[in-house]
Structure formats: C-alpha cells, structure tokens
Chain A
Amino acid sequence: MDKITSLRMENITKTFPGMKALDNVTIEVKEGEIFALVGENGAGKTTLMNVLMGLYQSDGGCIILNGQKVCFTSPNDSFGCGIGMVHQRYMLVPNLTVKENIALGLKKAWKKVKLDMDFVVSKIEEIGEKYDLVVDPDAYIWQLSVGEQQKVELVKTLCLGAKFLILDEPTSALTPQEIDELIQLLKTMNKKLPMIFISHKLKEVKELSHKLAILRHGKIVFCGDTNDYSSSDIAALMTGREVKMPENNEEKEFGDYALELKNVNVKSIRGFLALNDLNLKVRSGEIMGLAGVSGNGQLELAQIINGLRKIDGGEILFLNEHIENTSPIDIIQKGMGYIPEDRNTEGIVPSFSIKENLILKDIENEQFSNHTIINNKAINDNAEKLREQFDIRCVNTSLSAGALSGGNIQKVILAREIARKPKFLVAVYPTRGLDMGAAQFIHSKLLEMRKNGVGILLISEELDEIMNLSDNIAVIFKGHIQKVLPAKTATRREIGMLMAGVNND
C-alpha cells in the first residue's frame, strides 16, 4: 500500500471491567486531512486509538482501510498497513540511545545475527531530510528534553513506515512556543500524510484540524467540519453542559510570609542540580502558581517542602521556622498540607479502606487512637462526615480506596488535607486526568481555602489552570525560579518564554 486514502473505524465497542469505554463509535479520515478527536479526560479517545493500533481488541466493530476490511491484533499489523502513533506518554526506553529505540521497531535491522545499526542510522537520516526533523542518533533518551523526545517519537514512527499518523495529546508537556513550532511542523507534514490529532485543547484543534469528532463517555456526540463551530460550541458539546471554571477574581489582603525558600539547592540522582539556587516566597491567603515544563524541578520542590527529600544547601522557612531536612511528620504537624503528584500510590494507600485513608496523617491523634488502641467509631464518623462534605461517591467507606475513580480518589485526598485545617497547601497537578466536573469542584475548594487565609503553592502543567487560580505566577526552569509575575497582567507569551529559559531581564 503506497498511500492511505481513507480510514474508517465502524461501530467500535470496547468494555473494561465496570465501564463501557467505547460505545458504537464510527469515524472516517480521508487523504490530506487532519482529523481532530476531542473529548474530556476519560472520554475514550486513547482507548479508541489503542484499538486502531491493535493494542486493544475491540468487542465489536471493524476497521476499513482504503475500502478494505482489516483486522489488527497486534501493533505489527497496524504498522504493516502504515499506521503509526505518537503516544501521549512517549514510548521511548530511557536507557537506550535514539538509534537503539528506533532499531527496536525496525525489523529490517534484525535480519542478521548482529543488529544492523548502519541501516538504522541511514533510515534516520533519510526521514530527517524528508521532513526536516533532525535528531542525534547516539544520544540517550534520558539526556533529551521533552521537546526533543517528541521529535524522536516522530522520527521513530516515520522510520517504521508510517503513512498515517496518530498524535495523542502531543502538546501536553510543551511550552507555548514549542507548541507553535509543532503545529507548523504538523501542517507541513500533513501535505504528505493524513493524521488524527487527539486533544482537549480547543485552541489547537481549531488551528490545526479540518474535521473533528467529539467523544463523550465513550460515544460520538458530534462529528463535522471544524470551521463550522466555535470553541465554545465545542466545549459545551464536550462536557455535555455549560461548564464555567471558577476564577480567582476576588481582591484580598495577603498575610505574612508563610513559606520561604532561600537559595535552595538539590542534587538529582544523576548528579546535576535538580533545584538550583531556588528562591520563592508565598504569603498566607495567596495562591502562587508554579508554571514550567514538567521535569524542571517541580516534583523535587514539592518533596523538599514536605520533608520527603533532603536539600543540599539553602533554607526553607515555614511560618518562620526552619523545616529543611526535618522529617515529614514534623512538617505535617506544623500544619502543612500536600496533594501529591501520584494520587494512586502516594496520596492514598490503595489497599486500605476509604475511612482508613481519611486518617492517614492523624492516626496518632487523641480522637482516633490516642497512640494505642484505634477508636473505630471515631474513624467511621469522620469518614461519613467527610464523605458527605466532599461528595465522595462510594457504596460505603469500608471499601478499598484503590478501587475508586481518579476523581473520587482526589476528593479523598482533598478531604483529608482540608479537614486537617492546614496553614499551607502544596498542590501538585491537582486536576490532571480528571473530568471537568471534578476539576471544577477541586478548583472551587482551592479558592475557598485561599479565602480562609491558607497559602497555596499550585504546581501544574496546565497553563489555564494556573492563570485562572493564581494571584502570582512563578516560572521554573532547570530548577531555578526565572521570575514571579502578577497573574492579572501576565501573558501566555511571556510565561512561555520564561518556561523555555528565555529571561529578558
């Protein structure tokens, strides 16, 4: 097959335990098109593409390629037909080089006993020339930035003979400038090959795609030409209702400095500085948004504030007390709250019940055990109270927390942290992967805490979230705070430049 002129997925159905991920979905993509697949998190976009790639087997429906019915049971089948996918989480083995990663899929290099690396390199060069995509074949993946890794993903997919590209949320970890660059690149590449573009960012969808389909709860709710609809129409169709995300627009006085980091240095496992001379001050009642491309020290910052990692230099003051290199329990008892990045295994103990998770930080309290025998009644009462207050949807609170949906797990964490009446909160990616309803709930709770005078450090990779909620925005790059901007006057362009390490001051 030289070219893919049309691709049709017809009546695709796929069920996971307890949920119908895809329900009778039909889409069609033609030559020369960029087809956008839009929907909230959990709507079934990625599942649909995994079916197309042969990674998942659908329970019903079929795929028709250039008018012929095909059956994909493994990624090898879909590659064979020229379909390639760039996954949201890059499928690159970090401790292999670029060329080794590409050789892994390039079966022609496997013919002899020894891997034919010359062939792989020549292929990389050929693709590089054709699409103007230059990568260093000898670099290890872990040495590359997120943007570079994405290029490698594109090169890899093309080297494997893709004549049809699927891009799953390709912009989620890029700076605004990198996003513009990628969109231009995709536009030129589209002249040679059709694409499916998965996103929930409507601006990019409008800019890039010709046609779009909107998925909601595993069903296609709309399909048509992108130009016929405005962004707000699409947003309404995506969520099934008008969603107004809460915004921070209430003027207020801030309190004293609650958290101060002075000249903090942290070495990473590989030896470089994960945090480099970092300075940051947050006041009570202030929401400080931390913007940055992921992997620039955000997680390390959250860990050191909460005592989960040692620092190699500098000072951390919490309510005017030194907390650097003390233990997590000391910091918790001083009134620090923390919503961790990994909600499934760090924020909760998955095998423990919901009610047990709700007292993870308070088990030693007088109320719950007074250091010896556990008081089950108090634990039950606490759980019932919080379940109602935070709308945690579960049959009962004795079930294991790991079985809850992502949104409900986040509510459990939020309930526990807020119920402890913290004086400060570190929130890391609080709404990542959640649907808009849950995100809305969490945003309003954060704003409520601000109203009550709690200082919040909000770490996120969603620029919209940061700009909506923050009073001030700090931009982090390579473990250093580039600049702190007032949220009212900050522009995307300015933040984007800072995220990329360009500081004009």
Chain B
Amino acid sequence: MTRQFKILYKTSIILIAVIATLLIGSVILVTIDADVFRTYLVILTEPLKNKIQLTEVIIRSIPLSVIALGITVAYRSGIINIGAEGQMAIGILTSTAAALAFYNVPRPLNIIIIVVCGAIGGGIWGFIPGILKAKLKVSELLSTVMLNYIAAQFYTFFLRGPMIDPAELTLGSGTPQSMRLEKTVWLDRLIRGTRLHTGIFLVFVLAIFIYILLWKTSFGYKLRAAGASEKAAKYGGIKVAFFVTVSMVISGAFAGIAGSVEILGVHHRAIEGITSGYGFSGLVVALFGGLHPAGIIPASFLFGLLLVGADMTQRIVGVPANMVQVLEGIIILVIVAAQQVLNDKYLMDKIWKKFHAEEAK
C-alpha cells in the first residue's frame, strides 16, 4: 500500500463524512420546505458579513473552547463528560457569589478570585461523577446528565431566591437574575462597539496549559494511559481511580471557568439561559477538534459560527434555531462512524486491492 493511497483514502473518507453530514441535515430541511442551499449558506457565511456578528461568533467560541478543553482532559482519561452544562451553571453561581461578596478587593486580584471560585464550583460538580465512576463504577454518561438537571434546578433556585437582585423584588417584576457586578471586575472590551472581551486571551493560555499537561508531563502520560487502557495502566502501577477523579475535577473546573468568563466578559450578572446547549456543543467541539488543543481552537470558531448562524436562519430563511442541534447530533454520529472507518485497516486493504486490480488491467 502506498503512502499516497493512504492519504487519498483518509481524505476521501473525510470528504464523504462532510457530504453525509450536509445530506442528512438536508433531509430535515427538505421536510420543513426550507431552501437547503441557502440555509447552509446563511449559517456558514451570514455571521461573517459584518464586524458585530463576527465578534459575536468569537464571543461564542470562547466558552466553547474552554469547555471543550476540559472535556478533552476527561475524555483522554477515559471518561465522557456530558455534564459541562451543569458544571458551568454551578461555576456561574459560585463566581457570581464571589463577585458580589468581595467587591472592595483590587481589580486584578478580584478577577482572579472570581475565576478561581468559578473553577472550584465547576470542579466540585465534576468531582461527583468522577468519584462515583472511580469508586462505584457509576456510568458517567448517566450521572453527568442527571447532575445537569440537578444543577439547573439549583441555578433557578438561587436566582429566584437567595441571590435574586433586590431591585427585582422592590420593582416586583421578579425576573430571576442576580445583581449586576461592579464595573471594576468587568473584562475589558477589545473592540469598541462590540462585546468582544479579553477573555479570548485566556483561551490560548488554557490551550497551551492543557497541551503541556497532557503531552509533556508524566502526569499527562499517566492520565492518558489510564484512559487508553485501564487494565494496562493498573498493571503499570498507575492509580486509575485517582486520574479519573482528577480529570473530572479539571474538566468541571474548566466548565466553571467558562461560566465565570461569560459572566465577567459578556453578561455581567447571572441570568437564566446562559448555559443552554454549551455542554453538548462543547463535546462536539472537542470531538471535532480531534481531542487536541490545536484542533479545538479552530473547531470552536466553526461551532461559534454555527450557533450564531443558526440564530439568523430563523429570520432570513425561516428555519428554526433548533436546527443547530440537529447538525451537532449528525456531526457526532458521522465523526464516530468515520473514525472507525478511518482506522479500519481491513477495509483499507480491500479497497487498495480493488484499485490495484483495476490498475493491473
């Protein structure tokens, strides 16, 4: 088998995967009488047409990439974290509480405290499924989903009760949201007239941190060994339970950080609906980015585009924004199927032989 053939094989599989994704998506689009081509065009190009929309794409990609980096750590240790949404919600609660509690601390320190509190909140929410998996073999797929629902209830409980903005009570409108944070902790805006904030630099710092942690340290080596083959890792003296738990704490902490950055950079208070969909989207970004920081950053931009674009399809071509969920689902299905095909040496061999036979003729 030649090298060219291998490259050809892999690129054609990826090409087929992309076409399959678009085709399956168009089945739904045709059912709702939408213009398939225009819908895709709107999703993928409309947000790039002006500065504000473009920065909105980047704003969406910030929490997506941070969450995806965390999910990558968990995934590499053999645990699929689909609870980022809940971890993010708890992170928002703890960081908002910290921001409201420490209002007279100097600015840089205050921001650090707030982000760390967000990380702690998310980390605790990640620790629960981690320890349950490590010690009691509870499937993380189920426990993290359940914790999402639980976190959502906590979130509304605190925003309606203990943390509600006193102004809402006096006005009597009762919107579930916290008090606005002091301006001193807001992240700086990078471009006038847009919401793009300095949180974007944090993404690069965290990406480099994860890269070094996973691939350049003995800690990362052991964590990846635990995920790649639990049996072999145990045999090699690696404490698998420890790494599963710690990686879930890191994963949850990253979701919590994503939450606090959203609060500090965009919303400036805890409101309802901030977290919605970020957990699953983060998972898609992590998978699409090949579970590697270098892939996750571009992938998060693409999915930021998708999210902003999907909001626009409703107005422009009358396609509901739920369509983005459909596409995410298809992308996961296509990625996991394509991965198997890409690594199927047997199939590759068969196709190679067929080509070869034809060439010989």
Contact = CB atoms under 8 A, between A and B. Distances in A.
Interface of A: 15-18, 306, 308, 327-329, 331-333, 338, 340, 342, 345-352, 356, 360-361, 363-364, 368-369, 371-374
Contacts of B221: 356, 363, 369, 374
Contact of B218 (A15, A18, A348, A371): A371
A342 B221 CA distance: 22
Nearest to B346: A17
A373 B217 contact: yes
A371 B220 CA distance: 11
21 contacts: A17-B345, A17-B346, A18-B349, A308-B235, A329-B237, A332-B237, A333-B237, A340-B235, A345-B232, A346-B235, A347-B232, A349-B233, A350-B232, A352-B224, A352-B225, A360-B236, A361-B236, A363-B218, A372-B218, A374-B218, A374-B221
A375 to B, nearest CB: 10
A364 B238 CA distance: 11
B222 A363 contact: yes
Nearest to A356: B221
Which are the 3 A-B pairs with shortest beta-carbon distances? A329-B237, A369-B218, A360-B236
Given A328-B236, A374-B221, 13 more contacts: A18-B349, A328-B234, A338-B235, A346-B229, A346-B232, A347-B232, A348-B229, A348-B232, A349-B225, A360-B232, A360-B236, A368-B218, A369-B217
Contacts of A18: 345, 349
A351 B218 contact: no
B216 interface: yes
B234 A360 contact: no
A371 B221 CA distance: 11
Contacts of B222: 363
B210 to A, nearest CB: 15
Q: Is the interface of B mostly helix, strand, loop or mixed?
A: helix
A21 B39 CA distance: 52
A349 B232 CA distance: 6
Contacts of A368: 218
A340 B235 CA distance: 8
A116 to B, nearest CB: 39
Q: Is the interface of A mostly helix, strand, loop or mixed?
A: loop
A2 B139 CA distance: 54
A385 B348 CA distance: 34
B282 to A, nearest CB: 24
A349 B236 CA distance: 10
B44 to A, nearest CB: 34
B6 interface: no
A15 B353 CA distance: 11
B231 interface: yes
B225 A360 contact: yes
Contacts of A342: 231
B19 interface: no
Interface in B47-65: none
Nearest to A333: B237
Contacts of A306: 235
A371 B217 CA distance: 8
Nearest to A350: B229
Contacts of B231: 342, 345-346
Interface in B230-255: 231-239
Contacts of B217: 369, 372-374
A74 B314 CA distance: 53
B228 interface: yes
Given A350-B228, A361-B236, A17 B349 contact: yes
A213 to B, nearest CB: 28
Contacts of A356: 221
Given A328-B234, A345-B231, A17 B218 contact: no
Contacts of A352: 224-225, 228
A352 B231 CA distance: 14
Contacts of A350: 228-229, 232
Interface in B172-212: none
A347 B237 CA distance: 12
Contacts of A361: 236-237
A134 B236 CA distance: 46
A244 B232 CA distance: 33
B218 to A, nearest CB: 4
A349 B229 contact: yes
A360 B229 CA distance: 12
B50 to A, nearest CB: 45
A328 B225 CA distance: 15
A18 B224 CA distance: 29
B229 A351 contact: yes
B207 to A, nearest CB: 18
A308 B231 CA distance: 10
B225 A327 contact: no
Contacts of A332: 236-237
A373 B211 CA distance: 12
Contacts of A374: 216-218, 221
A18 B348 CA distance: 11
Nearest to B349: A17
A18 B218 CA distance: 34
Contacts of A364: 218
Contact of B234 (A15, A308, A363): A308
A329 B228 contact: no
Contacts of A348: 229, 232
Contacts of B225: 349, 352, 360
Contact of B216 (A327, A345, A347, A373): A373
Given A329-B237, A332-B237, A338-B235, A345 B229 contact: yes
Contacts of B233: 349
Counting chain A CB atoms within 10 Å of each CB, the highest count among B218, B229, B348 belongs to B218
Contacts of B234: 308, 328
Interface string B286-307: 0000000000000000000000
Contact of A327 (B218, B229, B237): B237
Contacts of A338: 235
Nearest to A343: B232
A306 B228 CA distance: 21
Contacts of A351: 228-229
B218 A349 contact: no
A286 to B, nearest CB: 24
A408 B225 CA distance: 20
Nearest to B229: A349
A350 B348 CA distance: 20
A340 B232 CA distance: 9
B264 to A, nearest CB: 31
A333 to B, nearest CB: 8
Contacts of B216: 373-374
A350 B216 CA distance: 20
B292 to A, nearest CB: 14
Contacts of B348: 17
A312 B231 CA distance: 22
A328 B237 contact: yes
Contacts of B232: 345-350, 360
A327 B350 CA distance: 46
B274 to A, nearest CB: 37
A361 B239 CA distance: 12
Nearest to A379: B221
